[in-house]
């Protein structure tokens, strides 16, 4: 479990850290050229909500899956608990929310374009690699989960297997 936690922590810094932290920082310098108002607060709430869901999803990978989200060190079990009871791809949705929150806070067209690139990349990755692999590895169990839980739009009530 310690190895999974360490690997997940490293991957968290590498993946969400770069896509939702480093890239927006490189694009904006995190300079806030206007006063902080209600719109900025809404963007900050969106980004922080995304961060909290991303952390919860990574923790769930360690606890339930006994592995990491990194393809090079996958989980031993299918992860369907925690935030995965609401949406199949909570990490990607969370990171997109973190980026979208920064679009709002910094009023940045370049970060908005980055958000579009990120969304196209993760939807493509999930469609062409991740879901086919999960179906091969977990078969009918994953198929039942996939039919019950949307990939991108969270459920209002948690799925119960």
pLDDT at position 145 over 90: yes
Token duo for residue 101: 């929150």
pLDDT tens digits, 80-128: 999 999 999 999 999 999 999 999 999 999 999 999 999 999 999 999 9
- The pTM (predicted TM-score) of the whole model is 0.94
Domain spans of the chain, in order of start: 2-148
Cβ neighbourhood burial of 57 (10 Å; 0-12, 13-18, 19+): buried
Model pLDDT, residue 73: 75
Token duo for residue 6: 């360490």
Model pLDDT, residue 69: 84
Coil vs helix vs strand at 87: coil
| Torsion of Cα atoms, 75 then 55 then 155 then 96, to 10° | -100
Token duo for residue 96: 């997109």
C-alpha Rg value of the chain to the nearest Å: 16
pLDDT tens digits, 19-76: 999 999 999 998 887 778 899 999 999 999 999 999 999 999 889 988 778 777 778 8
pLDDT at position 141 over 80: yes
């Amino acid at each position: 479990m310690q190895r999974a936690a360490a690997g997940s922590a490293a991957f968290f810094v590498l993946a969400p850290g770069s896509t939702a932290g480093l890239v927006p920082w490189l694009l904006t310098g995190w300079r806030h050229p206007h006063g902080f108002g209600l719109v900025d607060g809404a963007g900050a709430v969106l980004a922080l909500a995304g961060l909290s869901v991303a952390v919860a999803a990574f923790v769930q990978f360690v606890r339930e899956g006994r592995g990491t989200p990194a393809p090079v060190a996958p989980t031993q079990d299918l992860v369907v608990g925690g935030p995965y009871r609401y949406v199949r791809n909570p990490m990607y949705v969370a990171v997109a929310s973190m980026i979208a929150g920064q679009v709002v806070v910094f009023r940045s067209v370049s970060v908005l374009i980055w958000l579009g690139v990120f969304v196209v990349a993760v939807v493509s990755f999930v469609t062409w690699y991740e879901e086919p692999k999960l179906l091969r590895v977990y078969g009918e169990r994953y198929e039942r989960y996939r039919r019950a839980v949307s990939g991108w739009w969270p459920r209002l009530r948690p799925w119960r297997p």
